[in-house]
Amino acid sequence: MNARRRELHRTLGGLGFTRDASTIIGIRYTGSLSVAGKSIHVGIVFDDLEFARLPRLQLLKPREDAPQLLAHIQADGEYCYANRDRHLVDRYKIPSAVATSLEMMRSSLERSQTSHAAAEIVAEFPQHWFGSTVFLDLESNSSRRAILYRLIRHDGSYSDLIADSERLLSFLTPKRPTSEEPIEIVRCKWPLAFQTNQNRPQTFADFLDWLGSIDGGVATEALSRAQNSYPRKPLLLVVAPNGAVGIRLEFVPAWWKAITRPQALAHYVDKKRSDLRVTRFTGEPIDPTFIYTRNLTMSGNLVGKRIALVGCGTIGSHLAKMLAQSGGGHGENGRLTLFDQQKLRAGNIGRHLLGLPDVGRAKAIAVSDTLSKTYPEIDTSGFDTDILQRLSKLDDYDLVIDATGDEGVTNAINTHFVELRMVGATCPPTIFVWLFGNGAAAQALCTTSLSDACYRCLRPDHGGPWRFSPLKSDYSAEEVPAQCGEGPFFPYGVAAPVTAAALALQLALDWAKGNASPKLRTQLIAVDMTRQVHDKDPQKSARCPACGAEHSLGQ
Ligand SMILES: [Zn+2]
């Protein structure tokens, strides 16, 4: 017994717990916790003495102590009182780590007595179903039947998918499904829940009782749909506002053989419902709506926006992916169009989204292809034409992003929109994003109207100083000289373009939420070469040759 184990023993002994030496997995103690004046019999299992994860909690007499939790206890009696991986306790202070763990157990059990806890369980009902995971893609919110596919993935493993269309099949695997079984869908308008004293269904009778306790009509429908499944073995999925769970009726082979007519199945599932065991499965949504709104409810998203991204190089390629992840190219009218004339070269790979399989391909087209293979239902296209010859193509978008990092192109796009705004034409907001020096810092600017500083306002004199440069005055960029067929470039690593892309994405999300301010944003990457430039809405420059006073005089 080492020192840590002795200290654990002393601590738990002091709290009235005794060591259970009969287990070989982990270190187990038994005792009781006082919850709302009631004594609950528990086992506490420490997987290790590092406290990297919280100890497990087992309820020893759940039926007597906590009938309301029956449905939430796993086969071994374990009760999930917290996300064990998330709540860290201090491994260096065993007594307080134990005290904290026990208090979390106690307060979780106490909460379980209240309606608030019931609401928590309802909110996460599918995970309390303890079923095997089945991916779920229901395109229609009224479909009554779908297909349960068994898919072989790239690595040879299996995944199950319930879907009412084939739209996601090719995303998940290039191979045909190994099996396809129809599954009946019953829709329940009430949230799924477990009542006190209710256990997770083991038989078809349990299932019908459970469903009947939520909605009698839906339970009746489930029974009749199972009865009418002949000549297939019944599979049922219950879709409710708080998730979808399902069952497979497990027939003894000899019994199934004896069922030769529809009436026989109907009779069988009705009369033998108590003997008919079920296996449970839990739907895990993977439909596009879920994917693109899951993480974006608070931060805004780009669903339904028409976005043009000019430049699919180091910044633009990563930005294209981030835009797609944020809903770009999705929803009604949503579109994500990419422009870049260049082809991918091997030298780009260390910093680009794309890899070796796309070397030699046009960057815009290859990035667009990658997004189409990765994100279902995205509307994206790539063009390797020269955008400078047709800048008016950009006018119809909701948002134009220039990620070329090429001052010539950037100035041309900037001038195009400034001139449109000067004649009162409506034109899309523009986001420019670029890197300073060897990727020492990233900067992004959003211009939405003529009263905003334009890109050229930031550096009114060609080749002159930047008004908001994050580079220290003695900074000198190290440029790798041009080789044949390849322009000069700055040897920064992938951190720089990804940082720049993230800066531009956040600006785009803020614009989509209705406020792009502060419109000039700076992120330092190489701290020793740079100084902080505060994010701001920069003033226009009177000397700006694109939009400033001198420009007006020159008219
Ligand atoms: Zn300007």
For residue 115, the model assigns a pLDDT of: 67
Q: Does any domain span residue 121?
A: no
- The residue-averaged pLDDT of 243-258 equals 92
Q: How far is the CA of 181 from the centre of ligand 1 (A)?
A: 63
Q: Does any domain span residue 96?
A: yes
Distance CA 395, CA 401 (A): 12
Q: Does any domain span residue 473?
A: yes
User: Of 83, 113, 143, which one is at a domain's C-terminal end?
Assistant: 113
Q: In this structure, what DSSP letter does residue 457 have?
A: G
Phi-psi region for residue 277, left (φ > 0), alpha (ψ -120 to 50) or beta?
beta
Q: How far is the CA of 538 from the centre of ligand 1 (A)?
A: 11
For residue 553, the model assigns a pLDDT of: 43
Is the peptide bond preceding residue 518 cis, with omega within 30 degrees of 0? yes
Distance CA 135, CA 193 (A): 21
pLDDT band at 479 (very low <50, low <70, confident <90, very high): low
For residue 555, the model assigns a pLDDT of: 40
pLDDT at 551 over 70: no
Q: In this structure, what DSSP letter does residue 375 have?
A: S
- Tokens representing residue 203 in the block: 């038989």
For residue 1, the model assigns a pLDDT of: 58
pLDDT in tens, 27-41: 999 999 999 889 999
Q: How far is the CA of 453 from the centre of ligand 1 (A)?
A: 5
* Residue 401 and residue 492 in one domain: yes
For residue 538, the model assigns a pLDDT of: 97
User: Of 286, 320, 352, which one is at a domain's C-terminal end?
Assistant: 286
pLDDT band at 484 (very low <50, low <70, confident <90, very high): low
Grouping H, G, I as helix, E, B as strand and the rest as coil, residue 6 is: helix
For residue 483, the model assigns a pLDDT of: 60
Q: How far is the CA of 543 from the centre of ligand 1 (A)?
A: 8
What are φ and ψ of residue 318, in 5° steps? -70, -40
Mapping DSSP onto H, E and C, the string for 74-89 reads CCCCEECCCCCCCCCC
For residue 181, what are the contacts with CB-CB under 8 A and spacing of at least 6? 147, 148, 232, 233, 235
For residue 299, the model assigns a pLDDT of: 66
* Residue 333 and residue 448 in one domain: yes
Q: Residue 462: give its domain's CATH number.
A: 3.40.50.720
Q: How far is the CA of 544 from the centre of ligand 1 (A)?
A: 5
- Cβ 148 vs Cβ 111: under 8 Å: no
pLDDT at 334 over 50: yes
Grouping H, G, I as helix, E, B as strand and the rest as coil, residue 465 is: coil
Distance CA 208, CA 224 (A): 11
For residue 491, the model assigns a pLDDT of: 63
Q: How far is the CA of 460 from the centre of ligand 1 (A)?
A: 7
- Cβ 401 vs Cβ 516: under 8 Å: no
* Residue 155 and residue 281 in one domain: yes
Highest mean pLDDT, choosing among 82-86, 251-255, 293-297, 354-358: 354-358
Q: How far is the CA of 154 from the centre of ligand 1 (A)?
A: 52
Q: Which domain holds residue 175?
A: 126-286
pLDDT at 475 over 80: no
More confident residue, 5 or 88: 5
> Please, is 22 exposed, middle or buried when counting C-beta atoms within 10 Å of its C-beta (0-12, 13-18, 19+)?
exposed
Q: How far is the CA of 542 from the centre of ligand 1 (A)?
A: 8
Q: In DSSP terms, which residues pair with 59 in a beta bridge?
A: 42
For residue 91, the model assigns a pLDDT of: 85
For residue 78, the model assigns a pLDDT of: 87
pLDDT in tens, 137-176: 999 999 999 999 999 998 999 999 999 999 999 999 999 9
| Inter-axis angle of helices 3-14 and 94-111, nearest 10 | 40
Q: How far is the CA of 554 from the centre of ligand 1 (A)?
A: 14
Distance CA 257, CA 259 (A): 5
* Residue 372 and residue 445 in one domain: yes
Q: How far is the CA of 220 from the centre of ligand 1 (A)?
A: 70
* Residue 59 and residue 200 in one domain: no
* Residue 385 and residue 525 in one domain: yes
Q: How many CB atoms lie within 10 A of CB 443?
A: 22
* Strand arrangement of the beta sheet that strand 56-59 belongs to: 18-20, 27-35, 38-46, 56-59, 78-79
Q: How far is the CA of 451 from the centre of ligand 1 (A)?
A: 9
- Tokens representing residue 61 in the block: 């007499």
Distance CA 340, CA 365 (A): 8
* Residue 343 and residue 272 in one domain: no
Q: In this structure, what DSSP letter does residue 175 have?
A: S
Q: Does any domain span residue 379?
A: yes
- Cβ 38 vs Cβ 110: under 8 Å: no
Q: How far is the CA of 6 from the centre of ligand 1 (A)?
A: 72
pLDDT at 510 over 70: yes
Residue closest to 245 by CA, chosen among 149, 131, 359: 131
- The residue-averaged pLDDT of 355-359 equals 97
For residue 554, the model assigns a pLDDT of: 40
pLDDT in tens, 387-421: 999 999 999 999 999 999 999 999 999 999 999 99
Q: Where are the beta strands (DSSP E) in 366-437?
A: 380-383, 399-402, 430-436
For residue 123, what are the contacts with CB-CB under 8 A and spacing of at least 6? 242
The pTM score is 0.83
- Cβ 108 vs Cβ 135: under 8 Å: no
* Residue 276 and residue 305 in one domain: no
For residue 10, the model assigns a pLDDT of: 95
Q: Does any domain span residue 95?
A: yes
pLDDT in tens, 283-315: 999 998 888 776 665 667 899 999 999 999 999
Of 236-245, 302-311, 469-478, 536-545, the one with minimum mean pLDDT is 469-478
In the chain, pLDDT over 90 holds for what percent of residues?
72
Q: How far is the CA of 456 from the centre of ligand 1 (A)?
A: 5
For residue 522, the model assigns a pLDDT of: 98
* Count of domains observed in the chain: 3
Q: How far is the CA of 47 from the centre of ligand 1 (A)?
A: 64
- Cβ 168 vs Cβ 96: under 8 Å: no
pLDDT in tens, 261-278: 999 999 999 999 999 999
Q: In this structure, what DSSP letter does residue 107 have?
A: H
More confident residue, 87 or 309: 309
- The residue-averaged pLDDT of 74-103 equals 83
Q: Does any domain span residue 293?
A: no
Q: How far is the CA of 539 from the centre of ligand 1 (A)?
A: 9
pLDDT in tens, 343-354: 999 999 999 999
Q: Residue 70: give its domain's CATH number.
A: 3.10.110
For residue 413, the model assigns a pLDDT of: 97
Q: How far is the CA of 519 from the centre of ligand 1 (A)?
A: 14
Q: Does any domain span residue 295?
A: no
Q: How far is the CA of 541 from the centre of ligand 1 (A)?
A: 6
Of 252-266, 267-281, 522-536, the one with minimum mean pLDDT is 252-266
- The residue-averaged pLDDT of 502-523 equals 96
* Residue 225 and residue 308 in one domain: no
Distance CA 227, CA 184 (A): 11
Q: Does any domain span residue 294?
A: no
Place of tokens 């005055």: 473
The whole-chain average pLDDT of the chain stands at: 90
pLDDT band at 68 (very low <50, low <70, confident <90, very high): confident
- Cβ 148 vs Cβ 181: under 8 Å: yes
Q: How far is the CA of 450 from the centre of ligand 1 (A)?
A: 9
Distance CA 357, CA 494 (A): 19
pLDDT band at 550 (very low <50, low <70, confident <90, very high): low
* Residue 430 and residue 332 in one domain: yes
Q: How far is the CA of 499 from the centre of ligand 1 (A)?
A: 25
What are φ and ψ of residue 81, in 5° steps? -100, -15
* Residue 371 and residue 503 in one domain: yes
* Residue 376 and residue 424 in one domain: yes
Q: How far is the CA of 549 from the centre of ligand 1 (A)?
A: 9
User: Of 64, 87, 113, which one is at a domain's C-terminal end?
Assistant: 113
